[in-house]
Structure 1
Amino acid sequence: MAEIVIRNTNERISDEAGVQEFLAKQEVLYEKWDISKLPDELKENFTLSDEQKARILSTFDSEIKDLAARRGYKIWDIITLSEATPNLEELLAKFENIHTHTEDEIRAIVGGKGIFIIKGADDLGYFNVELSPGDVISVPENTPHFFTLMENQKIVAVRLFIEENGWVAHNYDDPTFVKA
């Protein structure tokens, strides 16, 4: 279950209804997938072969196709990050820059944990969305944000795209942003 931390106040929202209500007000899509559908050998496996990635996509085929039909996504893939990922620290440093995209950035978490840091509307400031397996989130286009890993530095996620070349990040300079 996702949890929200509002950075300006340290308020934490951890009940499902509260998370859904908060994210809906920020126009952030949030859904849940039934992670129990995933075969045991693919749960918490962070060094996936291409065949195993294909099995994950097949397992969630109906959910992926439903999202694609509703939101116009055309392609999807699996991303895995862990201590086995070459240049993990360099990749994370690149991810941890505030940016926007001209399309939604969506992730369905299959294993591990991650955080989207998103700039809220009006005077809310930034908030963290801490994600666990089964959480699906879509940050709206042109919304300042970035994604990073939690302390375990492991994640497996389905990503969906409208553009066939994937998201193009546009840096967003915000002197009000303070790293946690």
Structure 2
Amino acid sequence: MAEIVIRNTNEKISGDDNVRDFLNNQNVLFEKWDASKLPSELQNNFQLTDDQKNEILSVYDEEIRDLAARRSYQIWDVITLSDSTPNLEELLKKFEDVHTHTEDEIRAVVSGKGIFVIKGSGDLGYFDVELEAGDVISVPENTNHFFTLMENRQIVAVRLFIEKNGWVAYPVEDPSFQKA
């Protein structure tokens, strides 16, 4: 189940409906996919072959095509990160810098856990959205944010893109951001 931590107040928001309501107020899409659809041999497998990634895309084809139709996504893929990922620390440094995109950043977590840190509207400041298998989130374009792994350091997620170049980030210097 997703959980939100508001960094300025340390307030926690849990429960799918509460998380969805809070994120909707921040113009952040939050949906659920059925994590149990994933075959058992792919659950908690963080060293996927290309064939296994394609199998994940096939399992969630209906959900992916629904999102693509609603939000104009053109391409999608599967990303897996774990301690066995080559250059993991280098990748995380790139992901963990506050940045924006010219399109929304959407991730559907199918295994493992991760955190999106997002700048809220007004005086809210930054908040953490802790995600697990079945959670789908879309950070709006031009919104300060970044992604990082949780303590288990393992995630598999479906990524969808409008632009064919895929993940392109624009770093942001934000003096109001403080690492947790």
TM over 0.5: yes
TM superposition shift of 1:105: 0.3
CA drift of 1:41 comes to 0.2
Amino acid at match of 1:28: V
Between the aligned partners of 1:40 and 1:58, the Cα distance in structure 2 is: 15
Letter in 2 for 1:26: Q
* Distance of 2:79 and 2:48 partners within structure 1: 9
- Alignment partners' CA distance in 1, 2:107 and 2:49: 20
What TM-score do the two structures reach when normalised by structure 1?
Answer: 0.99
Q: What pairs with 1:1-180 in structure 2 (closer than 5 Å)?
A: 1-180=1-180
Q: Give the Å deviation of 1:115.
A: 0.3
Moved over 4 A (4+): none
Give 3-state SS (helix, strand or coil) of 1:30's partner.
Answer: strand
Is the 1:103–1:167 contact (alpha carbons within 8 Å) kept by the matching residues of 2?
no
Residue 94 (structure 1) shift: 1.1
In the TM superposition, what is the alpha-carbon distance from 1:167 to its structure 2 partner? 2.7
Structure 1 stretches of 5 or more lacking a match?
A: none
Question: TM-score scaled by structure 2?
Answer: 0.99
Letter in 1 for 2:83: E
Flag structure 2 segments of 5+ consecutive residues without an equivalent: none
Cα distance between partner residues in 2 of 1:95 and 1:22 = 24
Paired residues, number: 180
d(CA) in 2 for partners of 1:126, 1:91? 22
Quote the sequence identity (%). 72
